[in-house]
C-alpha cells in the first residue's frame, strides 16, 4: 500500500536546503514537490558545463529526470515560478546582449560582403587580362572561410513542445536545456509518446543525429536535457496501465526520480510566514553565475566519498538478486548509483567554487535522496502498490469522517465506530489504521484519547501545520 514517506529534507545541504525549506513553508507546498523543482533548476544551471566522473574513466552528464505525482491545486506553478525566475532573468539579459550582437554582426556582414565582391571583381579582371591569380584566389578563399557567423540565441526552457521542435532547438539554440511540463498526460499521450527511446539517449548524453527527409540533417553532440514532469495520480496510473510495461522495459521510467507527495491542501492556513529573500536571492545568483561559465569542469569524488560511492553502488547491485529488496525494481536499481553521482554533482557547485572534488557530506545527502526515491519508485510503479487506489481510499475515508461528524452533530467520533460503520472495503484494522495515521500525518484529522479509546476529530484553523525545520 502507498505510504507517504516523508522526504529526508533535513539532509539537503547548506543554503540549498534552507532555500527549499523556506519556499515550502512560504507556499505551504509539499516539501517533496519543492525539492524536485529545486533539483531540476539546479541541474539546468550546472549541466551545460559540468560532467561527473563516477570512477576513473567513467563519466557522464549531470541532467536529472524528475516527475512529481500530485493533484491540481498543490501550487506547482508557484513553485516553478519561484525557482525558474533565475533563468528568465538570465535569458532576458541575453536578449539585450543579442540586440547588440546582431548590430555588430550586420556591420561585419556588410564589410565582409563588400570585401568578397571586391576580390571577386579583382579575380575576374586578372583572369581576363591573363595575370597571375594565385594570390587573389588565396585571399578570396581566406575571406570566404572568414564569413561572419550570426549570433546564436539562447533557449533554456521548452514547454509543451514536440520532439522535432525540441531537437531543432537543442541544435540551433544550444545543447543544454530543460523540458518542463506540468501535464504529464498531455506530454506522454501527445507528441512525445513515441519518443521515449530518444529521451533515454539524451539522458545518457549520447550524441544525437537527426536525418530529415525535407530540410537539412544535423547532429547534436553531447546533449544535456533536464526533464521536469508533473502528473495527476489518475493520469499517471493510466500511463502505467497503458505504457508501463514498455516504459519499464526500455528503461524510460528507471531514469526518473518519481515522488508522490502527501497533499498539503486543507492545512494551508495563513500564518504570516514570508520568504527569506536572502536565500532565494542566493539561489538565483548561484544559478546565474553557473550559467555564465564557459569552462568545462569534470567533478570527481574525494577519496573517502569515492570509497563510499563504490560501497553504495555494490549494495544496490547486490540487492538485485532474487528475493532481495531491489529484485522487482532492477531497472531503477541499475541506474541508482549513477543518479546518486548526478545529484551529488548537481549539489556540489552550489556549495563551493574552490574544488572539483565532491565531499562525502554532499554524497551522503545524494544517497539519502535517491534511497527515498527508490522507495517511492517501489511503491508507485510496482503493480502491488498502485498510486490511485491508496489516494482514493484516503479521500473516501476523509469524506466519510467529515460527513459522519456533520450528520451526528458531534466533534469527535470513536475509531471503533469508523471500523463498524465506515466504508465497507476499508474495515480491516491494519488497513484502516494505516489510512487514519496517514490522514493524521497530513493534518487532515487528529486523534484524542480517553483511556484506551481513540477518537478522531477535525483540526480547526487554530491547529496550524508544523513548518519544516532545517537541521544542521
DSSP assignments along 164-217, one per residue: HHHHHHHHHS-SEEEEEES-HHHHHHTTTTT-HHHHHHHHHT--EEE--SSS--
Query: What pLDDT is attached to residue 420?
Result: 92
Q: How confident is the model at residue 472 (pLDDT cuts 50, 70, 90)?
A: very low
Encode 73-91: b = buried (16+ Cβ within 10 Å), e = exposed: ebbbeebbebbbebbeebb
Highest mean pLDDT of the ranges 268-277, 357-366, 425-434: 357-366
Q: Is 287 exposed, middle or buried (0-12, 13-18, 19+ CB in 10 A)?
A: buried
CA 150 to chain centre: 32
Positive or negative, the CA dihedral 408, 413, 418, 422 is positive
Q: 460 versus 272: which is more confidently predicted? A: 272
Q: How confident is the model at residue 46 (pLDDT cuts 50, 70, 90)?
A: very high
Domain boundaries, the chain: 9-94+152-302+376-381, 388-457
The CATH number of 388-457 is 1.10.10
Instruction: Please provide residue 83's backbone torsions phi and psi, each rounded to the nearest 5 degrees.
Output: -85, -25
Indicate the DSSP class of residue 17. Answer: H
Torsion of CA 373, 378, 379, 383, to 10 degrees: 150
Q: How confident is the model at residue 388 (pLDDT cuts 50, 70, 90)?
A: low
Q: Is the pLDDT of residue 271 over 60?
A: yes
Highest mean pLDDT of the ranges 50-54, 70-74, 77-81: 50-54
**Dmax over Cα atoms in the chain, in whole Å?**
115
| H-helix or E-strand spanning residue 105 | helix 76-129
CA 68 to chain centre: 9
> Which residues have CB under 8 Å from 108's CB, separation 6+?
148
Q: Is the pLDDT of residue 389 over 70?
A: no
CA 255 to chain centre: 11
Evaluate if pTM is beyond 0.85: no
Number of Cβ atoms within 10 Å of the Cβ of 373: 24
Q: Is the pLDDT of residue 172 over 90?
A: no
> Which residues have CB under 8 Å from 432's CB, separation 6+?
397, 415, 418, 419, 422, 426
Q: 183 versus 287: which is more confidently predicted? A: 287
Q: How confident is the model at residue 278 (pLDDT cuts 50, 70, 90)?
A: confident
Radius of gyration of the chain (CA): 28
pLDDT digits (tens, 9 = 90+) for 320-347: 888 788 888 999 999 999 999 999 999 9
Q: Is 395 exposed, middle or buried (0-12, 13-18, 19+ CB in 10 A)?
A: middle
Query: What pLDDT is attached to residue 358?
Result: 96
Pairing of strands 50-55, 58-60: antiparallel
Q: Is the pLDDT of residue 468 over 60?
A: no
pLDDT digits (tens, 9 = 90+) for 111-149: 888 888 998 998 899 898 888 889 888 998 998 888 888
Q: Is the pLDDT of residue 419 over 90?
A: yes
Look at phi and psi of residue 323 and say left if phi exceeds 0, alpha if psi is from -120 to 50, else beta.
left
The CATH number of 9-94+152-302+376-381 is 3.40.50
Encode 206-245: b = buried (16+ Cβ within 10 Å), e = exposed: eebebeeeeeeeeebeebbbbbbbbbbbebbbbbbeebbe
Residue 335 C-beta-side C-alpha neighbours within 13 Å: 23
Query: What pLDDT is attached to residue 460?
Result: 65
Provide the terminal-to-terminal Cα distance of the chain, rounded to the nearest Å. 33
pLDDT digits (tens, 9 = 90+) for 9-33: 556 788 898 899 888 888 888 889 9
Indicate the DSSP class of residue 95. Answer: H
Amino acid at each position: 500500500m502507498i505510504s507517504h514517506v516523508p522526504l529526508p529534507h533535513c539532509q539537503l545541504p547548506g543554503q540549498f536546503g534552507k532555500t527549499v525549506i523556506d519556499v515550502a513553508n512560504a507556499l505551504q507546498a509539499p516539501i517533496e514537490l519543492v525539492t524536485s523543482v529545486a533539483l531540476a533548476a539546479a541541474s539546468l544551471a550546472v549541466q551545460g558545463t559540468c560532467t561527473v566522473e563516477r570512477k576513473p574513466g567513467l563519466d557522464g552528464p549531470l541532467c536529472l529526470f524528475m516527475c512529481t505525482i500530485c493533484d491540481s491545486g498543490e501550487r506547482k506553478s508557484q513553485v516553478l515560478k519561484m525557482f525558474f525566475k533565475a533563468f528568465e532573468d538570465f535569458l532576458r539579459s541575453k536578449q539585450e546582449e543579442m540586440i547588440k550582437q546582431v548590430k555588430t554582426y550586420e556591420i561585419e556582414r556588410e564589410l565582409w560582403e563588400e570585401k568578397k565582391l571586391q576580390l571577386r571583381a579583382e579575380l575576374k579582371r586578372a583572369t581576363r587580362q591573363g595575370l597571375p591569380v594565385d594570390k587573389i584566389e588565396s585571399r578570396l578563399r581566406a575571406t570566404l572561410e572568414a564569413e561572419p557567423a550570426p549570433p546564436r540565441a539562447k533557449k533554456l526552457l521548452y514547454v509543451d513542445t514536440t520532439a522535432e521542435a525540441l531537437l531543432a532547438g537543442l541544435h540551433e539554440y544550444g545543447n543544454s536545456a530543460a523540458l518542463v511540463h506540468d501535464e504529464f498526460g498531455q506530454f506522454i499521450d501527445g507528441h512525445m509518446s513515441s519518443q521515449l527511446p530518444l529521451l533515454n539517449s539524451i539522458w545518457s548524453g549520447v550524441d544525437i543525429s537527426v536525418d530529415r527527409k525535407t530540410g537539412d540533417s544535423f547532429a547534436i553532440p553531447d546533449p544535456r536535457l533536464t526533464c521536469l514532469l508533473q502528473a495527476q495520480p489518475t493520469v499517471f496510473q493510466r500511463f502505467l496501465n497503458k505504457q508501463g510495461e514498455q516504459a519499464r522495459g526500455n528503461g524510460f521510467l528507471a531514469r526518473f526520480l518519481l515522488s508522490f507527495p502527501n497533499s498539503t491542501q486543507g492545512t494551508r492556513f495563513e500564518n504570516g510566514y514570508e520568504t527569506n529573500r536572502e536565500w532565494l536571492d542566493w539561489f538565483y545568483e548561484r544559478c546565474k553565475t553557473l550559467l555564465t561559465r564557459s569552462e568545462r569542469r569534470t567533478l570527481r569524488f574525494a577519496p573517502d566519498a569515492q570509497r563510499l560511492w563504490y560501497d553504495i553502488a555494490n549494495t544496490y547491485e547486490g540487492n538485485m538478486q532474487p528475493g532481495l529488496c531491489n529484485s522487482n525494481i532492477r531497472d531503477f536499481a541499475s541506474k541508482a548509483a549513477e543518479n546518486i553521482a548526478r545529484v551529488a554533482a548537481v549539489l556540489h557547485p552550489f556549495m563551493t567554487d574552490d574544488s572539483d572534488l565532491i565531499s562525502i557530506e554532499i554524497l551522503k545527502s545524494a544517497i539519502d535522496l535517491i534511497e527515498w526515491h527508490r522507495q517511492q519508485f517501489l511503491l508507485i510503479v510496482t503493480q502491488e502498490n498502485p498510486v490511485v487506489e491508496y489516494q482514493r481510499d484516503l479521500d473516501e475515508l476523509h469524506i466519510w469522517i467529515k460527513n459522519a461528524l456533520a450528520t451526528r452533530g458531534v466533534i469527535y467520533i470513536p475509531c471503533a465506530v469508523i471500523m463498524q460503520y465506515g466504508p465497507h472495503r476499508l474495515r480491516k484494522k491494519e488497513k484502516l489504521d494505516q489510512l487514519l495515521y496517514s490522514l493524521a500525518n497530513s493534518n487532515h484529522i487528529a486523534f484524542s484519547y480517553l483511556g484506551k479509546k481513540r477518537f478522531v476529530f477535525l483540526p480547526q484553523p487554530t491547529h496550524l501545520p508544523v513548518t519544516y525545520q532545517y537541521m544542521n
